[in-house]
Amino acid sequence: MVEAPQTAEGWFSLHDFRSIDWDAWREAPESERERAIEEGEAFLKHRELVADADDGESALFSVLGHKADLLCLHFRPSLDDLSAIERRFEDTALAKFTERETSYVSVTEVSGYVSDDYFEAGADAVDEGLRRYIEGKLKPDIPDEEYVSFYPMSKRRGEEHNWYDLEFEERAELMASHGEVGKEYAGKIKQVIASSVGFDEHEWGVTLFGADPTDIKDIVYEMRFDPASSRYGEFGDFYVGRRFPPTDLDAFLAGETVPTGRVPERDSAGHPHGGGGHGDEGGHHGDEGSHHGDDGHGRGEGHDRSGAGGGPAHGDHPHGDGDAGEGDHPHGEGGGHGEEGGHDGDGADDEDIRGELADLDIYAGKPHGEDVYATVLYSEADTEELFDEVEGLRGNFDHYGTHVKTAVYEGRHTDRAAVVSIWDTASAAETAGGFLSELPDIVARAGEESGFGTMGMFYTVKPDYQSEFVETFDDVGDLLGEMDGHVETDLMVNVEDENDMFIASQWNAKEDAMGFFRSDEFSETVQWGRDVLADRPRHVFLA
């Protein structure tokens, strides 16, 4: 018997496609239409706020063409949660003006093509980057205000080409090749693949998100020429639309372009007006103002962000389809770990450390009036090979205004290199990590190797002082080696610019590192650095 890949499942998914009965809508009294809008908006807001479950995601899209008018997309931990959503919608005044054209039920999935170690030895056996990638695939975030394309697909079981007759190694090779096409769309396309085997007519449901709808067309077109699709792919109907906030429901029904970009009115308590409705879908949305954006699309700071798109769009997906950047407006900008902070830090720790360094007359502020965020992964691969891989990704990252810089830094005292990707927002840096985790021989992620990890600051040295700066660091390194709580420190140098470098340092605890920052030796180094640096050190947060 041919070996079936192991699978892991996450959230259940419902794609609910609705059409509007426009004749009934036009003929309805104004008061009835107002009630339908109020109750529909309230229902949809509650879904986006996930007021009906402990976890999940929801989004509303307009759909182009004759197949439907609206798509309500829901991810929830259980099928029962989705069933409750269906019933509650039918209890709204809006439901009588809609007809369900079709729906699709599935569950998010990763398979054995991603990582044998993950299935054989468990999540702790894989590196942090891959683990976050897998978590992002199983519990996906939905991009904000992006175009969407949904289609179901199956693997062919024909007389000449039967996917399920192929050996595992051959299937894995085909999917790896498929993934290489997807990598070309890093930062342009995010995808969610969910298994519908036993749930619906096809075997998988594929949802693609992108800021430019032609990118969606292009990735599907290119993949049609790949053998995994050309020989073995069978597809259902395609649906295309664009996300808009529930507060624009009235504009959508009035024939206006959505999203409108307007900010909803707020009451005296700061909550968006939401109208009446009955039951728990009524006009009280007291939890809306706490951690979500004005239009209900925002993300709270507690959401973990992970790469989950841009890779193979069809079927059993290999490790290789993380998403990066998510356009120029990623979901919230929740605080990441401070650049001086360990993996258990938070925003308050970041500010505390900045304050302490400032009190010591050590620059710890913003370089140009803004915060930036970094994802840093360490690799033991050959530096030239690593740089070639990074250069390809960087070309895609540069399409996004939130991208500041991505570079490879070589260690001087360690046998590894660092890949650093800096972004204007924490979520963009975090999702870029989904792609970077695919790079060869990744062994660690900054901030997660010890009790307290510090990135130091990014330094740009005047060329005439480069060698002197390096020698001075070596002297400081000797001092570090004698300090309690010190684990490892290295001065890492940009392979493209020897004058651009940063210090990566590991400590047992925050207080151990702060003891060094308070030392006279470090203070003297800081004062000397003011003369040899071409610019002030760039202080970043780890995403």
Residue among 34, 536, 39 at smallest CA distance from 282:
39
Confidence class for position 445, pLDDT limits 50, 70, 90: confident
Q: For 374-393, what is the mean pLDDT?
A: 90
> Does 240 lie in the same domain as 97?
yes
In contact, 81 and 11? CB cutoff 8 Å: no
Asked whether the beta carbons of 68 and 101 are under 8 A apart, the reply is: yes
For residue 161, the SS3 value is coil
Does residue 345 sit within a domain? Answer: no
> What CA–CA distance (Å, rounded) separates 190 from 143?
8
Catalytic residue among 104, 113, 118, 151: 151
What does the alpha-carbon distance between residue 314 and residue 179 come to, in Å, rounded to a whole number? 10
**Alpha carbons 363 and 463: distance in angstroms, whole number:** 21
What CATH number corresponds to the domain at position 14? 3.30.70.1030
Residue type, 423: W
Residue 229 above 60 pLDDT?
A: yes
What per-residue confidence (pLDDT) applies to 487?
Answer: 82
Range with the largest mean pLDDT of 127-131, 178-182, 346-350: 178-182
Instruction: Identify the band that residue 431 occupies on the pLDDT scale cut at 50, 70 and 90.
Output: confident
Residue 402: inside a domain: yes
Instruction: Tell me what pLDDT residue 522 has.
Output: 72
Determine the 3-state secondary structure of 503 from DSSP.
strand
Q: Is 417 exposed, middle or buried (0-12, 13-18, 19+ CB in 10 A)?
A: buried
Q: Measured between alpha carbons, how far is 259 from 239 in angstroms, rounded to an integer?
A: 18
Query: What is the torsion angle, in degrees rounded to the nearest 10, for the CA atoms of residue 484, residue 490, residue 491 and residue 495?
Result: -170
Task: Identify the CA nearest to 375 among candidates 468, 444, 302, 299.
Answer: 444
The rounded mean pLDDT for the chain is 78
Q: What average pLDDT does the segment 178-198 reach?
A: 88
Is pLDDT at 495 greater than 90 in this prediction? yes
Q: Which residue in 66, 14, 20 sits closest to 237, CA to CA?
A: 66
**Angstrom distance (rounded) from CA 26 to CA 530:** 71
In angstroms, what CA-CA distances link 98 with 68, 94, 257? 10, 7, 20
57 in a domain, yes or no? Answer: yes
The answer to whether residue 82 is domain-embedded is yes
Lowest-pLDDT range, 161-175, 215-229, 231-245, 498-512?
A: 498-512
510 contacts: CB under 8 Å, gap ≥ 6:
340, 341, 342, 345, 349, 353, 451, 452
Residue owning tokens 């180094």: 525
Cα separation, 412 vs 425, in Å, equals 30
Average pLDDT, integer, range 463-467: 86
pLDDT of 415 strictly over 70: yes
Average pLDDT of span 243-252: 95
Contact 262, 248 (CB under 8 A): yes
Helical H runs in 63-209? 79-90, 116-121, 128-138, 168-183
Closest CA to 250 of 353, 463, 455, 97: 97
pLDDT at 310: 35
1 pLDDT above the threshold of 50: yes
Which helix (H) or strand (E) is 515 found in, with range?
Answer: helix 510-517
Which residue did the predictor score with more confidence, 505 or 232? 232
131 lies in which domain range?
Answer: 7-252
Query: What was the pLDDT predicted at 312?
Result: 39
* 350, 355, 458, 521, 530 from 358: Cα distances, Å: 12, 5, 17, 17, 15
Percent of the chain with pLDDT over 70: 75
369 and 246 inside one domain: no
Residue 8's DSSP bridge partners are: 110
> Bigger pLDDT: 457 or 38?
38
| Phi, psi (rounded to 5 degrees) for 264 | -65, 145
Residue 281 identity (one-letter amino acid): E
Residue with the bigger pLDDT between 245 and 267: it is: 245
Q: How many domains does the chain have?
A: 2
pLDDT of 334 reads 32
Measured in residues, the chain has a length of 543
Q: What is the pLDDT of residue 458?
A: 73
Give the predicted TM-score (pTM) of the model.
0.56
The pLDDT of residue 506 is 77
Inside any domain, residue 538: no
Determine, yes or no, domain membership for 52.
Answer: yes
What per-residue confidence (pLDDT) applies to 51?
A: 82
Last residue of a domain, one of 195, 221, 252: 252
User: Active site includes 151?
Assistant: yes
Q: Which residues contact 371 (CB under 8 A, 6 or more apart)?
A: 540, 541
Reference 404, options 290, 543, 509; nearest CA is 543
| pLDDT, position 139 | 94
pLDDT at 141 over 70: yes
Last residue of a domain, one of 232, 252, 272: 252
SS3 of residue 47 by DSSP = helix
Please give the share of the chain, as a percent, with pLDDT higher than 90. Answer: 41
Q: Are 136 and 16 found together in one domain?
A: yes
Q: State mean pLDDT over 503-519.
A: 78
Express each pLDDT in 308-338 by its tens digit.
Answer: 333 333 444 333 333 333 333 222 333 333 3
Which of 220, 252, 284 marks a domain boundary? Answer: 252
504 and 368 together in one domain: yes
The H-assigned helical ranges of 279-410 are: 288-291, 347-359, 383-397
| Partners of 461 in the β-ladder | 533
pLDDT per residue as tens digits for the range 35-59: 999 999 999 999 998 988 889 999 9
Q: Give the pLDDT confidence score for residue 71 in this predicted structure.
A: 98
pLDDT, residue 371, reads: 66
Residue 97 has pLDDT above 90, yes or no: yes
- Does the residue 80 lie in any domain? yes
pLDDT digits (tens, 9 = 90+) for 61-82: 999 999 999 999 999 999 999 9
Burial class of residue 318, CB neighbours in 10 A (0-12, 13-18, 19+): buried
pLDDT value, residue 307? 32
Q: Is the residue at 415 inside a domain?
A: yes
CATH value at residue 444: 3.30.70.100
- Joined tokens for residue 453: 């990890």
Among 343, 295, 520, 324, residue whose Cα is nearest residue 428 = 324
Q: Taking residues 433-458, report their average pLDDT.
A: 74
**Both tokens assigned to 350:** 């970041």
